[in-house]
Amino acid sequence: MIKIDAGDFFLIEPSEEYAEKIAEYKQAFLDADSSMDGCGPLRRCEDPITYIAECRKYTSPEILPEGWVLTTQFFYIRKADNRRHYFNDFLSKFGGHIGYSIKPDERRKGYATSMLKAILPYCKALGLDKILITCIDGNIGSEKAMLNNGGVYE
């Protein structure tokens, strides 16, 4: 399991240890009628254990579903991105390397900027010199996170 220290927080892959927190996280999005972009398969999974199993399918070439790319899903936890290892045609146009999402009641606190900053060294260690991040037009928070980390918004 990958765990990345990020100051007062850490990035960690979903695991059974966090099943209750994952359920609370998903419910917060549902209660706020908010998109779960950047959460991987969270919306379509009935429960946290299924979600964790789904996330693990994308971490190894031996079990990777056909047509998908290797992906590492992370949660940003006070002391989730998912970061894709490479692209397919869809991701090169619509998804990018990194997806992130902030629990609705935790937005506007700088967490997206901090998460992105924390994951960039991991991306570099994988050999990614350039990183593509996409967001829906009008998502000011995501745009600011990119810009705050030296990105260019197009």
Residue 78 has pLDDT above 80, yes or no: no
| 86 has a pLDDT exceeding 80 | no
| DSSP for residue 42 | T
pLDDT at 44: 93
The structure tokens listed for 140 are 């000011």
Tokens of 12: 């960690």
79-110: burial string, b at 16+ Cβ within 10 Å, e else: ebbbbbbeeeeebeeebbbbbbbbbeeeeeee
What pTM was computed for the model? Answer: 0.59
pLDDT at res. 145 = 93
Helices (H), 32-139: 48-57, 89-94, 111-125
**pLDDT score, position 87:** 65
* Tens-place pLDDT, residues 9-24: 788 899 998 898 899 9
